[in-house]
Amino acid sequence: MHLYWMQLHSTAGIFAMTASLKLISHKLCPYVQRAVIALEEKGVPFERIDIDLANKPDWFLQLSPLGKVPVLVVTTERGEVALFESNVICEYIEETQAGLKLHPADALKRAGHRAWMEFGSAILGDLWGLETTTDPATFESKRQALAAKFARVDGALGAGPYFAGDEFSLVDAVFAPIFRYFDVFDELTELGIFKDIPKVRAWRAELAKRPSVRAAVGADYPQLLRAFLVRHDAHLLKLAA
């Protein structure tokens, strides 16, 4: 596996010149959104194919060892390579495509950004619990966990407008889909998660304006997320005024 990734990395420039990109996705998936944002920021043409994760097609399961989205299918004159895991896909996009640089040039800063991307994934884990639980105690536990994590993020932010200041980065691509959940949640109830963290509030507002962030989902996203909550009989819905 290590040799494979070395070979993929060494030929990345060749792939970038001739590759066509196909992103296998789901309309609600935040991990898909971060890949879409990276592609949009780079100005890279790609084909997006949405699938039903409740009824996964056989061809998709052949591509995705984990049965999860996103999967980026890279087609070149040498054939197809299917990349899975969103951070891997974002790193490939950054390393092979021209356009806006989404990682710092400095190795230490770049490693720090990757760490905060992982922290964003941990936040998504708590968000899943918050939006799917039917139990009030579990809901409150997840709400408190999210508040604590976002407080840590607030402490890491500078003057903005983005995570790294003036430069949009992959950390922004990871957190923008997280904040999008709360656009719907805020219409249902006041969770109080962002009350005392002004830097995160300002960051959230700035990311919502970004064209790549807006393009990452369809106009039906709010309706689809509400329907998801209904299917899970989410406790969150019971708090709606």
- Cβ burial of 45 (10 Å; 0-12, 13-18, 19+) is exposed
Alpha helices in 48-106 (DSSP H): 58-63, 86-96
What CA–CA distance (Å, rounded) separates 198 from 188?
Answer: 21
| Phi, psi dihedral angles at 47 (to 5 degrees) | -105, 130
Return the DSSP state at 239.
T
The catalytic residues are: 29
C-alpha dist (Å) from residue 228 to 27, 105, 117, 216, 225: 11, 40, 25, 18, 5
Tell me the three-class secondary structure of 219-236, residue by residue.
CCHHHHHHHHHHHCCCHH
